[in-house]
Amino acid sequence: MRQQRRGIGMDATHLKEKIRHEMYEYFVNVIYLMLVFATFTTYRRLLLAAYDIRYTNYWVAVIEALVLGKVIMIGGIFRLGRGLDSRPLIYPTLYKAVVFGIFVGLFKLIEHGIKDLWNRETITTSLAQLTHDRLDELLANSLVVFVALIPFFAVKELGRVLGKQRIASLFFRRVEGDV
């Protein structure tokens, strides 16, 4: 009986550590993505301000970061791109950037669809606006996000190969002499 209790206690400790690790990973993902999306939102706001159009959808950037941060973690659970682990790091990095760039594009489509439904637009009107007005914006947004995800996944892949502790020490500790 004592061995069983110890086993349960060790499993609970392991589970707590795993949850703590997953929450930290999620936090890092969300912070990076919020910075990317908020920067893009700020750029859009400043660009549209030149035409006296107000744009302050920062909450959308936060929601996108929260959702995509979780999608990235789920992709990790399903080992997305792990078939490329033995290849040079550029392959899994670009693969993941493309896949999650597409996810961002899909989220943008859903976002526009929800806005249109909220504004009582019909589905046919919404699709017409998408193909006529929003397709360039959607493609530009996806391209910017794709490029922004390259360093994100590059650092993650380096952490996988070199170890997360080593990457953290390279970024957050003083480096003596030549690297």
SS (H, E, C) 57-101: CHHHHHHHHHHHHHHHHHHHHCCCCHHHCCCCCHHHHHHHHHHHH
Residue 20: inside a domain: yes
**Percentage of the chain surpassing pLDDT 90?**
24
Overall average pLDDT of the 23-49 stretch? 91
Q: Is position 32 within any domain?
A: yes
How does pLDDT run across 60-119, given as a tens digit for each residue? 889 889 988 888 888 878 877 788 888 999 999 999 999 888 887 887 777 777 777 787
Q: Report the candidate in 111, 19, 109, 34 with the shortest Cα–Cα distance to residue 73.
A: 19
Provide the domain count of the chain. 1
Residue 104: both structure tokens together: 């961002």
In a domain, 179, yes or no: no
pLDDT value, residue 2: 45
Domain presence at residue 134: yes
Question: For residue 74, how many other CB atoms are within 10 A of its CB?
Answer: 10
Q: Is residue 85 part of a domain?
A: yes
The whole-number average pLDDT for the span 7-35 is 85
Domain interval for residue 165:
2-172
